[in-house]
Structure 1
Amino acid sequence: MPFEFNDLAEELIPQDPRVVFGIVLALIGAVFLSLGAQFQHRGVVKVERNTQYAGGSGLNVKQLMLLLARPSWVIGTLMLGFAVVLQLASLTQAPLMVVQPLGAVALVITSIVNARVSKVALNRRSIIAICMCVGGVGLFVTIAAFTAVDKPVTDEDLITILVILAVVLVAFVLAFIALRNKFKALFYILGAGVLYGFVATLAKVIISRIQNENFEWLTFTCVVALLAAAALGGYFVQNAYASGPPDLVIAGLTVVDPLVAVAIGIFVLDEASQAPLWAVIGFVVAGAVAIWGVFALAKHHPQTKV
């Protein structure tokens, strides 16, 4: 009996202390992500009010410049920048599939803070939706923590990621140009989440290559692609703030972002190659629950604009 217990413990508890450290960094980053989102949302709302902007068709250049003059938006941006630094640091310590989904902690913090700041209490359906988001992502990261493995990214894998990202960027740009007047917060949230999923993946690749002194044309291409995805994703986030509450924005980002990053980890980087069948089933169920929670929150949140 003791032998079986020890075997189980060794199987379930991560052996590398660097993974634990990476998880801690990711959790601290989630706190700054939450606070940064709240401050940025406040700045966007003030610009929206001062310019009579109704949201939906996209912020123009003048409105983007006005954001730079809003102290709340600048503070929020600095906090988000620190959250990104912590996230990148966590990616150097643990597999992408483990640390990336931990941003869901920010959803709980943002929901509490936004309810107090806006003085709009969450309704029962919104609370259930948030629990679905956090529960789904929590289950996902728990399974990933015990089954994911960190693998080196080959040039072929990297080219595949860049090609997929190029297609995604073109698709979102064309969709925005053609349908921007019909977009609601959910589109911007989903778009930003998808793009940031690629940003997280490319960031991990770039960090690894720099550490190995492998900075050549393919690495430089990754840097350019990362900046392009981050810029468009950031623009989508600001538009999402203009047409939806901050906790809805964070819900989309902390669910869609890690699911995309994890999908890349599974299908391209092969980080789940050692996962048993039960883990694969768990990934599917947990992901479905989390995504369902995002759509439910978008539908039932008391501050969602229709």
Structure 2
Amino acid sequence: MDPDLSDLSEQIALDPTSFIGIPLALVGAVFLSLGAQFQHRGVVKVEARTVDTLGKGLSGRQLALLLARPSWVIGTVMLGLAILFQLSSLYFAPIIVVQPLGAIALVITSILNSRLNHVKLNRKSIIAIVMCVGGVFLFVGVAAFTAVDRPVTDTQLVTILVILAVVLALAGVAFGLFRRRIRAIFYVIMAGVLYGFVATLAKVVLGRIEQGEFEWLTFTCLLGLLLATALGAYFVQNAYATGPPDLVIAGLTVVDPMVAVVIGIVVLGEASQAPVWANGVFLLAGVIAVWGVFMLARNHPQTRL
């Protein structure tokens, strides 16, 4: 190969097939948006017909009633499809490239929620949404050409599992102690954090299964993934009961990828080839996007404060 072409190929971090993950992630975002809208409708109807649980968490009876709501079931199926497309995108591309693309779901959800519930978004809410999406896409724009996809070592995997165990414990303690004072933003942030670990562990499990390495560590990953998914799903349902669907999606599509990205950069070394300026852009984009979530939580016309 020509030396110049060889040097050029080394500068292109992603294999061409990795870009297949981008359209898959975008399709998943559409299903995520529709699923959130349907699930939110189901949760609101169940909560309206039972004892108010604002700040206390949905009861077991209410969770059972959700299974009888067609809108909630349809939303759950759509979220299942969103997860399927998300996992497919993670198979082809690094976490820090495709995971943030779910932010497009925030735009779709905001438009749908505004039309279906006849709620006009105020100026500050629109600015917050633009910050969320703009920050995420700025991040992806840089990551797509600087990220590298590396196999996960056992040491890295143990590190991720230990951090997840600490997060699960803290989430459980916080919910147990402060559940009567909890509002939507807590559920949104915690669900986003947990799903960030879910995305990371899902990519790890897929990679190990492909390599035929299904041993105790992979099984532990799968167990942690299922536990984080279950607790995250419970937090999401409570977030629907205390806030609008676009706030929930803002948390899931901003906090979720930011957590996965931090793991990808700090633990997995996916940004090891990125220049110094790219790391600065990553930090700036993350701050903009996360601040947008808090702005949306404070200024959305449907948020219960």
> Secondary structure at the residue paired with 2:92?
coil
Partner of 2:25: 26
Q: Distance in 2 between matches of 1:184 and 1:61?
A: 19
Kindly report which structure 2 residues correspond to 1:1-306, keeping only aligned pairs within 5 A, or say none: 16-306=15-305
Q: Distance in 2 between matches of 1:263 and 1:147?
A: 15
* 1:18, distance to aligned residue in structure 2 (A): 1.7
Q: Distance in 1 between matches of 2:185 and 2:24?
A: 29
* 1:10, distance to aligned residue in structure 2 (A): 7.2
* 1:53, distance to aligned residue in structure 2 (A): 1.9
CA contact (8 A) 1:43 1:71 kept: yes
Q: 1:15 to 1:288 in 2, by over 3 A?
A: closer
CA contact (8 A) 1:11 1:146 kept: no
Aligned-pair Cα RMSD in Å: 1.8
Superimposed CA distance per residue, residues 112-134 of structure 1 (whole angstroms, 9 cap, x where no aligned partner)? 00000110010000000000000
Seq. identity, % = 67
* 1:13, distance to aligned residue in structure 2 (A): 7.2
Say which is worse superposed, 47-56 or 172-181, in terms of deviation.
47-56
Superimposed CA distance per residue, residues 172-225 of structure 1 (whole angstroms, 9 cap, x where no aligned partner)? 000000000010100000000000000000000000000000000000000100
Q: Distance in 2 between matches of 1:135 and 1:279?
A: 16
What TM-score do you get using the length of structure 2 for normalisation?
0.96
Q: Distance in 1 between matches of 2:218 and 2:67?
A: 31
Q: 1:15 to 1:264 in 2, by over 3 A?
A: closer
Q: 1:12 to 1:80 in 2, by over 3 A?
A: farther
> Secondary structure at the residue paired with 1:273?
coil
Q: Which runs of 5+ in 2 are unaligned?
A: none
Superimposed CA distance per residue, residues 279-298 of structure 1 (whole angstroms, 9 cap, x where no aligned partner)? 00000100000011000000
> Secondary structure at the residue paired with 1:222?
helix
Amino acid at match of 2:120: A
Q: Distance in 2 between matches of 1:163 and 1:137?
A: 27
Q: Distance in 2 between matches of 1:12 and 1:242?
A: 48
Q: Distance in 2 between matches of 1:256 and 1:10?
A: 33
Q: Which runs of 5+ in 1 are unaligned?
A: none
CA contact (8 A) 1:26 1:90 kept: yes
Q: Distance in 2 between matches of 1:182 and 1:55?
A: 9
Superimposed CA distance per residue, residues 50-90 of structure 1 (whole angstroms, 9 cap, x where no aligned partner)? 10324221001000000000000000000000000000000
* 1:19, distance to aligned residue in structure 2 (A): 1.8
* 1:17, distance to aligned residue in structure 2 (A): 2.9
CA contact (8 A) 2:35 2:76 kept: yes
CA contact (8 A) 2:22 2:98 kept: yes
